[in-house]
Amino acid sequence: MGRCVYATCEGFKSLVNGEDSDFVRLVYDPGLLKKLDHIPGVFHAAPLSEWRGAQLRGERYRAFVKENIQKKAAETVKRRNVQAIIAIGGNGTFKGIKDLCDFIHTSIQIFFVPVTIDSDIAGTECIGQNTGIEVGSEKIRCYMADARTHKRTYVVEMMGASSGFHALHSCLGSRAHLAVLPNSVIDHKKVGEALNRRDECVIVVAEGYKRDEREKKGIKDNAAEYFYRELLATGIKIKRKVVCEAFSRDIRGAAPNNQDITLAQRMAYNVAEYLKAGTSRLMPAVRSGKEYAIPFNEIRTDNMVEKDLLVLSDRLTSE
């Protein structure tokens, strides 16, 4: 489209700092890249879609909730004559860009692209969720194999801060025995009794399980450890060895699969079309193969899992 595209090196923090070193130029055209490649801060955009993790760092910048900090970012946008902003991330990124809109002139076009392993943006597939489920399921399959081999129980913490999408689908994909989600109501005594009827078991616990309760009590246990603590509190002595595993962040470094790369291209193309059309404050969305846009004021975060799937996530107490 002939636009100069820049990326922030440290997310919202770079917008607040506003120094030249906080930004890099993204170049896609090979001919233009040859001309600019010798200049520090010029990135070749084409390979980024296949790289693991985030080449441009996602900064969890807690201070951005403050209005005076948001105003600094808005001043940078104005000073640099920015014509459009595209925010890429999950629910935290969306909240940040939505707040920033209050201090940005409406002539500047703003868009949000949902990229989150845990699918915490409602109404759309999110870039990263397909890769996350694939890698998460394979990780749980390894625990399943070891549990069978050594006749033990694994309680594994997985991603899932609010709804537990990643934990649920990783459980279903691997055929683990039970998924414990942030909003799950569990009969711990029934679970303990069921464990004693089995030689092996793998339980997947979402990281957000009873998080507020844990923080209120000052308990440092991760979600898997806390769930096991609740099982022990029933007084039932579990016969087999139980191993609790904390959430492993290697999932974040997985190579993106074809579904996510394709989804990213579809969303990027649609954002380019929205830009040409002169629209703003929109999120590209894809659901059941259909493409559409959701206005900022209609976007919901903390995506809820499909309740119909919950019955499939318990192969432990239902047997």
Burial (CB count <10 Å: 0-12, 13-18, 19+), residue 127: buried
Whole-number pLDDT of residue 59: 66
Q: How many CA atoms lie within 13 A of 186 on its CB side?
A: 27
Q: Which of 200, 132, 213, 186 is nearest to 310 (CA)?
A: 186
User: What are the respective helix, strand and coil percentages of the chain, to the nearest 5?
Assistant: 45, 20, 35
Residues 6+ apart with CB under 8 A from 189: 234, 236
Encode 262-291: b = buried (16+ Cβ within 10 Å), e = exposed. Answer: ebbeebbebbeebbeeeebbbbbbbeeeee
Both structure tokens of 258: 């074809």
**pLDDT score recorded for residue 319:** 62
Specify the length of the chain in residues.
319
Tell me, what's the pLDDT at 252? 85
Are 234 and 192 contacting, i.e. CB atoms less than 8 angstroms apart?
yes
CATH architecture group of domain 5-127+256-298: 3-Layer(aba) Sandwich (3.40)
Map tokens 């206005």 to a residue.
295
Cα separation of 267 and 277, whole Å? 15
Residue type, 4: C
Instruction: List average pLDDT for each run of 10 residues in the chain, which is 319 residues long.
Output: 91 94 93 92 87 76 95 97 95 95 96 93 93 96 97 95 92 96 93 96 96 94 96 95 90 90 95 97 95 96 78 86
Q: How many CB atoms lie within 10 A of CB 105?
A: 9
How many other C-beta atoms lie within 10 A of the C-beta of residue 215? Answer: 10
Q: Where are the domains of the chain?
A: 5-127+256-298, 130-251+306-313
Q: Are 240 and 151 in contact (CB under 8 A)?
A: yes
Integer Cα distance of 132 and 136 in angstroms: 6
β-pair partners for 157:
205
The listed CATH number (3.20.20.120, 3.90.1170.50, 2.160.10.10, 3.40.50.460) that belongs to domain 130-251+306-313: 3.40.50.460
Nearest to 60 by CA among 161, 151, 137, 132: 161
* Intrachain domains 5-127+256-298 and 130-251+306-313 with the same fold: yes
Question: Side-chain half-sphere of 277: how many Cα atoms within 13 Å?
Answer: 13
